[in-house]
Structure 1
Amino acid sequence: MRRMWQTLWWHHFFLLWTTINGQTRYSIPEELKRGSVVGNLAKDLGLGLSEIFERKLRVASEAGKQYFSVDAGKGELLVNDRIDREALCGQSASCVLPLQVVIEDPLQLHRIEVEIRDINDNSPSFLSNELSLKLAESAAVGTRFPLESATDPDVGSNSLKSYTLSKNECCSLRIKEIEGGKTVPELVLDKPLDREKKAVHKILLTGLDGGSPARSGTSQIIINVLDINDNFPVFEKNVYRVTLGEKSMRGAAVIKPKATDADEGLNGDIEFSFGSRTPDSVLSVFDINTLTGEITLKGTLDYETTRSYDIDLTAKDKGSPEMQGHCRVQVDISDYNDNPPEIVFTSQPKPVREDAPGGTVVALISARDLDSGENGKVTLQLPKGSPFTLKPSFSNNYALVTSGALDRESFSEYNIEITATDSGSPPLSSKKVIPVSITDVNDNPPAFTQPSYNVYLKENGVPGSILYSVSASDRDFGENAKISYSILDSKVQDVSVSSYVYINSDNGSIYSMHSFDYEKLKVFQIHVQAKDQGSPSLSGNATVHVFILDQNDNAPAVIYPSSAALGSFSQQRMPRSAKAAHLLTKVTAVDADSGHNAWISYRLAEATDASLFTVNLYTGEVRTKRAVSEQDDSSQRLLIEIKDDGEPVRSATVTVSVLLEDGLHEPILDLRQKSAEPSQKGGRVTLYLIVSLASVSVLSLLTFLILAVKCIRNSRSSGSCCMRRSDCDEYKNPNRNLQIQLNTDGPIKYVEVLGGDMLSQSQSFRSCMSPMSEYSDFTLIKPSSTADFKEVISVLDASLPDSTWTFESQQGRPVWKPCPPAETSSITINSSCTVPKKESSVRARDWILIDFCILFFFL
């Protein structure tokens, strides 16, 4: 009952304990039952009951064993296991058990101390229940014999306090104090011994502690009275003190105490030995020479286990009875830096977002060293260049925090090597690697393999076929790296591009919605967007240029001769007086295709008389191979085949019916005869004609001189001579361009002229020229639609046939016409157009009109 009230008193004393120096301190008696309340931890730390569970409060003990736990429902600190103060702290006056309270989200560390108070649960005890002494009967009164000291694991008032000796007739008890506040009982001889009266004395030695109630332990002393040898060995000192290094080698000499005996012979021969109650912990480490008394080291020393040894030495003579002398050797162990520091995780590291601000706590760690003094002082270091740093807390506790920018794409995980070094000489160190993973943030947009792609697609393809596959990558991870593809809305010939193509959102494959016609659409653009699944999502764009390649899907179309009623049929008349190489007619055909597919050749497939007519392969001119004879039929039929150069070849035919007639030249002869008759009126007309022709010639010469001077000036200022169509449409619209494409592959020369606004429908003009013909025609075929052309492409190859070309404008459309081959052999045409600034000039067309007006006036 008394024990219960004492426990209750201590419990109330503990509840009134307050925090000291910012740390919570509790005090409890040892041996409390499991589940006993230590204190209200939540209240003392200022936490609500809900926070204990939500923030995962836990208690960690530095002692290794978990003696305490937390009641999450009440926030109380409970005893988790039996606490034996003597096992934890031994004979230390103060027994404090440090605890660490870890709270997560956010991480916090609190240090509390629990003082374990001693209770009188141990009785004083002797190493042996029986002590045998041999005393000579001649022992002088007052002689002292040291007795075995009792030990009590308890401390304070509960420790050993006094000794008592049972009632006897020869001896008394005396307590001797030695260094360190310890007491040693000594047996004092009060009366001379008489072996003949009593040879054996039995005395009971009792040790008492100061507890309430007091506890005691006993040991029986048996005194055997011996005869004669009345001198015992005497040591020079009662206590020897020596310091020994922790790393001393085995066999090293510790100390050599000296003892003397006044007797002679065997009574003066001394043997040394350890005391009879010497513990095994001493016997396993030290050895003694029985003849010299030298103590040597035979085991290993560990300062962290035992810091000092108390050795009892006995010197015995060989007399009869033998006499003993006693002394004590205290061996102090000096610390050696033989324990490397240790790094302990207080909390495991957590993943960190790559956009985490500086100072974000990653983990809580602590450092400790089993050595003492300078050997136990520990410092922690991180490698240079690490985006982390250590923030000291208290008592060798640190917080690992971020100190720089993180980038998961560069380093997705850091293995932080922490080095712990003590201050010993030489210093010892240890390393520990802390893995810290970096979580991804959507900070990288998808990137295509290239900013633009060129796709070449044949016309008339199968709808639904794949055009191209674009690919984009994202340096992020997980959902932030998942990419979906889409086509941005744009216009192609005023129609949404989504009506032409569609894209697979998963793999970036682009498919056609229908087949394409090169003659209607030559090029268009697709703007593709790659978008990730992050929050917020990021995107990247790329442009796909689709070029439609021409296929030979159009047969040549006959322009001349052509008749709506007769189809490709022509009736021609030719005089029988026609000579060889007489030009009957010229067949003209065009092909809607381009390139090789539009190269046209003419061939005489059938003829009434194949020896009479021939067709030029490239120009389509129908001429006589020989002079017409009287034997030739008056009606000739020619079937002319027109073929292109595509694959497969496409063709068309035209039929020419020729009537050979006599007398077609007679009207001309009559006219010549009439005009040859001299008359006065005819002479005047001739004079007028001569004057008119001279005037027209002079005006034409002036016109051409003015044009030549203007062209030379333009060539000096812009480097080119401008053959312009209405001053290049005056280029009021900066988006209008002119593109001339030349293909010189093969016998047929192909030129394509493209012109128009960038944002409107362009116009296309083509020409087929043959270097093998005497005459070459530049025929306006048709305007065709083109896509946007951002640059003016001006190309004319030097391999053009030697011919003179002029440029005229008919109803707002440019037309190229050949000049007679006899006038010149070659001419170079620069396609770039130079527009004078704020300059109005007379067009070539106007000069020609002026010349015709003057000529008409004179006529």
Structure 2
Amino acid sequence: TMKIPHLLLAWVCSCCSIYATVAARTPRSDHVPLHRTRRSWVWNQFFVIEEYAGPEPVLIGKLHTDIDRDDGRIKYVLTGEGAGTVFVIDEKTGNIHVTKSLDREEKPQYTLLAQAVDRQTNRPLEPPSQFIIKVQDINDNPPVFLHGPYHASVPEMSNVGTSVIQVTANDADDPTYGNSARLVYTILEGHPFFSVDPQTGVIRTAIPNMDRETQGEFLVVIQAKDMGGHMGGLSGTTTVTITLIDVNDNPPKFPQSLYQFSVSEATSPGTLIGRVKAQDPDMGENAKMAYSILDGEGSETFNISTDSSGQEGLIRLTKALDYEKQKLYSFRVEATNTFIDPHYIRKGPFKDTATVKVMVEDAHEAPVFSEPTYIMAVYENSAVGTLVGKVTARDPDSQRNIIRYSIDPHSDPDRYFSISAQDGAIYTATGLDRETVTWHNITVMAAEVDSPSQVSQVLVAIRTMDLNDNPPELEPPLETFVCDNAHPGQLIHTVSASDRDETSNTSRFYFGVPPESVSDTNFTVRDNKDNTASILVYQYKFSHLKRNVFEVPVVVVDGGKPPLSGTGTLTVSVCHCGHDGSIQSCNMEAYISPAGLSTGALLAILACIITLLAIVVLFVALRKQKKETLIVYEEEDVRENIITYDDEGGGEEDTEAFDITALQNPNGASTIGPGMSGGFFASRRDIKPKNPATRRSYPPSLGVLGVEEFLRLRLGDVDDDPAVPPYDSIQVYGYEGRGSSVGSLSSLETTSTDSDLSYEYLEDWGPRFQKLADLYGNKGLPHA
């Protein structure tokens, strides 16, 4: 048979060791069964008491195997948590000792591994066996409130037993072993207002109707004790600050039943005249109030409102006061809580009333006019001193002081009016003209004799009424024309009139001819009865050769009372017209017929333009032929300038043909003025003629003119016409040029025979114009 050894574990408790041996037996030849003895203890668990303070080291157990013959061949080995430091083993005997005091709260148990090996070969004799060493708890930790101190709140007036807060303490001892962690709560401070549940730590109210206004905060001390609260247990405490939450349990209350104020009758509406305040010991919304006027005579004169904080009532004036009418006002005001607290059931009305009396004080008031504004009227051209109207003011005070009137000089700077200081009568001070100023807005002031500083003023609007004092006038235009072939009864113009007076005086105008002009048989005036008149031809024909201009007087009368009349003159020019009524010639300058130019006139103008263009082309061609003879050599610097005129007069353009700076005096240039190229010259002075131009017209009897004759006549017209530019010009040359030894204006020598220039082309104009005429077939041009 074969025998299997087992490791025996011993448990020592209260200085006693228990050994257990387990042997495994194989079947024998006689097949007798083996029986295992039942163990009644836990073979793999040891215990050690925490905080043990006995002699060290302390034996807590022993390891033994049944193969150990006590011959020193077996060595016991201990490994695991705390092996070699906290726990040590005797290699020979297998005794286990603890080397230091243990704390269960730090580590409640240790897991170790035991093994028996051969001391010489270090070969395991049995498989390793695991066991546990538990640290047995003792009551070494007091209860601790981890979340203290606490703060809580509960509404005032709460019922008894209302939960406030729950406090909880923790005990680090083992709650499964003994009563070391069994806690009991008690209240040390806070009686009789609060109580605490000993098992749960819930704090509750203990008395009814706790009033915040009496005491708003409580400090409660709670104790937690282990060991079920028995003697010898450990304890811990915490504080709980409990605040009573305000509820609206107090109505507002006026500290006095009567309030008295005084106000001057001159106080403006909207002015604050007093404050009232009801007291409410509640807080926040529970203390807010609304004020109102209940009854009395002041409800229409005064108004009460609540300030922004909801505490005070502000009494304001709503309309003007009059001491002479009422000297005292009495009314009641009410203060009411505006917030209804759902946590508190009110008992009775939450409001209060008080009486307010307002005494009106007499004030020295300024005069009062009978009207807010005055509107008056007076006719223009009225005599100085004419009564316009009257203003009236009174002293509202009981003394009834004397009033004096005056006009503000800034409102009537031209002194159109005056006023009686005693009775306020307003008079004209100068003549009035409606057409100049229709309305006069003046300011009348009223002041008390005894108190000049008490001044009132009022606006007086005075309308200047119209009189028919302006005669009617003809409206422009007052110039027209008549054709020399006009027929009697033909309309040549329509006139209208205007009047500066009002419409009532100008609603109807009447037109006619002055009595002294009735004998004039050239034109007649017809009243159209619509405030216009037609000018008609009276005679048969007009001749512009006999008379070019007629003046037609027209009389216009207005409809005023009395009526006024005015005379205007219509200027009529006689024009030569065609059969279709178009103007062909007329003495009216810059006049353009409404029908436009006739076809013949347009053709004549076109022919003149073509002729002038042809002459310009011919002249340019002739000039190119003579160009070589007009070359001036640069080395001959004799300061000669040849002025060539290409037309019949160019005004200021004549001086552009040469450089005027050659004739300037550089020494005296600064006294004359700036000129070309930085030089100086005297400014040009053109003289415009005062006499109007007289245009020459050619009789039809001349027929068709030749080109040469036509140009000669037109050139004469231009030379003889002083009314168009270029006008006569005065050129002042203050310097004759440097280096000149003679006193002439130019250095040209007109008598020299050595000049290479030829002037023969200037003598060929007559034959060349004849050639131009032959070129056009000697048909000539119309005398346009």
Asked whether the two chains share a fold, i.e. TM above 0.5, the reply is no
TM bucket (normalised to shorter chain) is 0.3 to 0.5
**TM-score, with structure 2 as normaliser:** 0.34
Structure with more of its chain in strand, by fraction: 1
